Amino acid sequence: MSGGNIANNFGSFDVVFEKGQGSTVYDINGKKYIDFLAGIAVNCLGHNHPSLVKAISDQATKQIHISNYYNSDIGLKYSEKLLKASGFDKVYFGNSGAEANEAAIKLARKYGYLEGEKSGIGGKNKKTIVTLEKSFHGRTLNTLKATGQEVFHPECFAPYPDGFKYIKAGDYEALKTAFDESTCALMMECVQGEGGVNLIDKEWAMAAASAARKVGAIVIADEVQTGMGRTGSLFASEWLGIEPEVITTAKGIAGGVPMGACLYRGKVKDVFVAGDHQSTFGGNPLACSCANAVLDVMLEKGFFENVVHSADRICSTIRSWNLPCVKEIRGKGLMIGIDIDGSSAEIQKKALDQGLLMSTAGKNTLRFLPPLVITDQEIDEGLAILKKVLSC
C-alpha cells in the first residue's frame, strides 16, 4: 500500500501501521515493531493505554467540543491541575507545538511593547526575540524564523517575519552583546531535539537567562518536546534552572490527541486580554480530557523515576557493548541521541526492517524517544534489534 494522496512532507517508509499495545506496534500484515519513537515523543503513555482510552470514550459520550466562548468542566479541572503541578498562573491551549510557540511569541512581543513604554527601556521597539543556533521551534513562518538553522529558511517561502536573532549555546561572549534594549525575550529549548539532541549547559543557560532579564526581557522555554515528563521531570526547565516566565509544550501533552499549551506567570500573567489571542479548537473538552488522564498518570508515584530508570537501562546497555561504531551517547531522560560512525538513515531503515522504530537527528545521529511507560522487556527487545543492525 502506498502513501495514497496524503501530503507527505516527512518522506515515507514503505509500511502501513494498524495498531499498538504498550510500546509495541503492528503493521497491517501483523508484523511486530518495538516503538523507540512514540510518534516523535507524542505517545508518552504508549499505545492503547487504558486511562487514555477511557478518557477518550467517556468524554466522547459527554461533549467533544464546545466553543471557547464558554468554559468546559474538564477544561477548568485540567487547567487547574496543570497550573498547580507546574507552578504557572495561566495557560493558553492550542493544537500543536508551533501554535503554542506562536502564542508565546505574541505574548513576548506585547509584553515588550508595554514594558518598553513603561520602563523606558527600548520604548515601542522592544520586540526582538533571541533564540539559539541549532534550535527548532516549528513550521509556521514565525516559528521557522525563530528556528536558528539556515536550512529552515529557504528562499521559496520568503519573506519571513523579522525580529529574531540567534546566538550559539555555550557562547559566553555572545551574551555580552546579544541582549539590548530592543530585546523582549530569550527563547530556548532545554535540550535541543530536532537540532541533534544537544544538551544545554546549565551554567550557561542560567547566565543567558540572567543577561536577558538584565535588559527587561523574559525567558521562554520551548518545552514542546522536553515537557510532560520526557526528560524525567514534568518540565526540563525545572532542572535547567532558568525559571522561565513562559513555557510552551505540546507533543506528549495529551498522549497523541493534538494539543499544545503556552503557560505563563509572574510579570506576564496579565499581558493577554480578551481578544488578543484565540483558537477555535484549542483546549476543547476531548483534548483536555486526554491531557487530564495523561497528567494523572504522570503524577502517580514513581512515574518520573521510571523514566530515569528506562533511560539508564538504554544508555548503559549500549555503552556495555563497547561497539567501535558508537561514538557518543547523550541525552536527558528518554530523549536520547547516539552518534554513530556511518549513516543514521541507513540504520533507521535497517532497524525498521528488523522491527524497531526510531528516528534520526542529522546524518550520523540516531534518536530515541520511546513511550515514557516502556517496559524493561520492550527495551531489551528493541536493543537486541539495534545491536544486530549496528553490527560493528
Pick out residues in 136-155 that bind ligand PLP (CB under 6 A).
Answer: 136-138
CA triplet 87, 133, 175: central angle to 5 degrees?
75
Which range, of 121-129, 131-139, 298-306, 319-327, touches ligand PLP by CB under 6 A?
Answer: 131-139
Per CB under 6 A, the segment of 135-143, 155-163, 232-240, 339-347 that binds ligand PLP is: 135-143
| Distance, CA of 267 to CA of 276 (rounded, Å) | 17
Q: Kindly tell me which residue out of 189, 245, 339, 378 binds ligand PLP, with binding defined by CB under 6 A.
A: 189
How far is it, in rounded angstroms, from Cα 390 to Cα 381? 15
The nearer residue to ligand PLP, 126 or 145, going by C-beta atoms, is 145
Asked whether position 339 contacts ligand PLP by CB under 6 A, the answer is no
Query: Of the candidates 96, 231, 237, 348, which one interacts with ligand PLP according to CB under 6 A?
Result: 96
Considering only residues 281 through 320, tell me which ones interact with ligand PLP, judged by CB under 6 A: none
Which residue in the shown chain puts its C-beta closest to ligand PLP? 97
Pick 22 or 193: Cβ nearer ligand PLP? 193
Q: Is 164 in the site for ligand PLP (CB under 6 A)?
A: no
Task: Tell me the window of 67-75, 149-157, 186-194, 376-384 that interacts with ligand PLP (CB under 6 A).
Answer: 186-194
Dihedral of CA 225/230/235/237: which sign?
A: negative
Applying CB under 6 A, among 194, 245, 339, 378 the residue interacting with ligand PLP is: 194
Q: Per CB under 6 A, does 225 bind ligand PLP? A: yes
Interface map 243-262 toward ligand PLP (x if CB under 6 A): -------xx-----------
Question: Is the Cβ of residue 259 or residue 318 nearer to ligand PLP in the bound state?
Answer: 259
Q: Which residues contact 354 (CB under 8 A, 6 or more apart)?
A: 385, 388, 389
Identity of the residue, 35 or 222, whose beta carbon is nearer to ligand PLP in the bound complex: 222
Q: Are 358 and 13 in contact (CB under 8 A)?
A: no
CB of 147 to ligand PLP, least distance (A): 8
- Select the residue interacting with ligand PLP from 35, 222, 245, 339 (CB under 6 A): 222
How far, CA to CA in Å, does 381 sit from each of 41, 60, 260, 317, 384? 19, 36, 32, 12, 5
Residues in contact with ligand PLP, counted by CB under 6 A, come to a total of 15
* CB of 126 or CB of 137, closer to ligand PLP: 137
* Residue among 113 and 368 whose Cβ is closer to ligand PLP: 368
193 is a site residue for ligand PLP (CB under 6 A): yes
> Quick one: 249 or 289, whose CB is closer to ligand PLP?
249
Which positions lie near ligand PLP, rule CB under 6 A? Answer: 96-98, 101, 136-138, 189, 193-194, 222, 224-225, 250-251
